[in-house]
Structure 1
Amino acid sequence: MVATADYCGRFAPTPSGPLHFGSLLAALASYLDARALGGRWLVRIEDIDEPRAVSGADKVILEQLKQHELHWDGDVWYQSRRTNVYQAALQRLTDQQLTYHCECSRKQIKALGPFYTGVCRDKNLRAKNTAVRFRNDHPIRSFEDGLLGHIDIEREFAAEDFVLFRRDGLFTYQLAVVIDDIEQGITDIVRGEDLLTASSWQLNLWRYFTDRTPKFKHVPLALDEHGNKLSKQNHAPALDKDYVTAQLCAAMQFLGLRPDANLAPADLVASAVTQWRAIYFPERA
């Protein structure tokens, strides 16, 4: 098939532990979407939240991807090595008067209601012991999703002045992920539905750094027996290297594909690419 030269997708896990089934779903879906169009697929380790990062987890994650025949293009980026880039981006927003300092604690914000109401907007606070928030005067309240269709975001959430730099001295995911996606040339973002609403904030930031915007596909979340999202925080079991085929088959079935358990992992993934292309890009099948 002819490659779509400008397609670039990515998988960007937090190294807080090994990959689990929910992680595999996101990795596989993003991989299939990229390879179905002959595009590039990158891996980025999102370790900007240093307290959550577990030593050595990045190496385990990369090995798990290889075991499941999900091979990436180019070098692996680490957010922890890019703080100077995020600082420059934050300064750019500040120079445009798009940020302000906030002294509110989480407890104080929660006491005021479910959304931050901008109580520090006009206080002109100094930087000491404060967070930096984005002055969200022009929120994005809707966008199109390649799997879910038209998405409307709750007005109060979309308009919230979200945090770019935390009081503990760390840059937030919202800022780092946008800057990295732009610099890596990401065109298509395929990830779990838990990040659906935050897409409005991220799309908002995109327009202050570039004229282009990414396409989104948000895949359903895998849940445990209690209806909770599978996550490292909820102690989801790690992928087992001795059950790669079974895990790939289960992930394919979850994504609406038809796996053949008799195939080797590499052939199973190749089959998944073909099926994904037929479903989502029939003009390329």
Structure 2
Amino acid sequence: MSTKQPWEPYWSEKRGAWVIDFRVNGHRIRRRLPIHEKGLVDVAKASAKNIYAEAWRSQSMEPGPKKRPTFAEAAGLYIDAGGEARFLQRIVNYFGRKHLCDEIDELVIARAARTLYPNAKPETVRRQLRVPIKAVLNFAAGNRREKLPDTRRMRWLSPEEAERLLVAAANPAAANLRDPNLETLRKIAFMLGTGAGPGETMGLDAKDWNPTTREWWLPGTKTVYRARFVRLPLRSVDLISPIPEEGPAFPAPNGEPYVFRKNRGGQMAVAFRKVREAAGLGPEVVPYSCRHTWATW
């Protein structure tokens, strides 16, 4: 006597049809087959067997419950993807290895701030706690902005060309540029030394400079640059000094703050062009070339 298979149908006199009734992975499947002749038992069995097999295939293809990432796991993946790691270890230590990302809300962040930075200024808490946490949570949620493809000319400077550019910027009169405080030199030296873009350089505030560590906090922009710290080489520090205590760190050659338009960065184009021409460099060299140079060396 053969063993009855779970998918085998039975004849229902009440319905006048063959019926299947079985479970697949805990899910009950019970239905009437469109076979209304009792003598078509083999046809009913074949149909039932196909339904049973398809039900199991569908179950195997269905995704299981989505794994909820911990903050520690998400932070590690965020760093591996190029995210800023500077303040995350302290935050990971606070949350531990099991705290889930979706459990972190404003109240949780406020409690973390009270514990980790009890006497810090709000701006310090924002930079060192809120911004890193939000960056990791956005990354875990898939909301991290992708870097836009850079369509600018990918021209960088050789060391000799960079020196010529710095020398020309240090002598603005020879470049027919009125720049008594060498503001163009300061911006070029900062970009070459940090990889900052022209738009974010012109918008920096002096209060974000830490002379003790030679680090500058760059808050980033909405589309191109991420928030981060940059560490300046000694030569860059020498060339951009003196640095004001507060206010615009890199004003225009006339000493006035820049008024930013949609395409921030273009405001220094005229001054840069004069310096570039005095250095004997071609029009393919633009302010953004300083960032490419830093990334290439």
Place the TM-score, normalised by the shorter chain, in its bin: under 0.3
Q: Tell me the TM-score normalised to structure 1 length.
A: 0.23
Q: Tell me the TM-score normalised to structure 2 length.
A: 0.22
Structure possessing the higher relative contact order (Cα contacts under 8 Å, 6 or more residues apart): 1
Greater strand content: 1
Give the number of the structure whose alpha-carbon radius of gyration is greater. Answer: 2
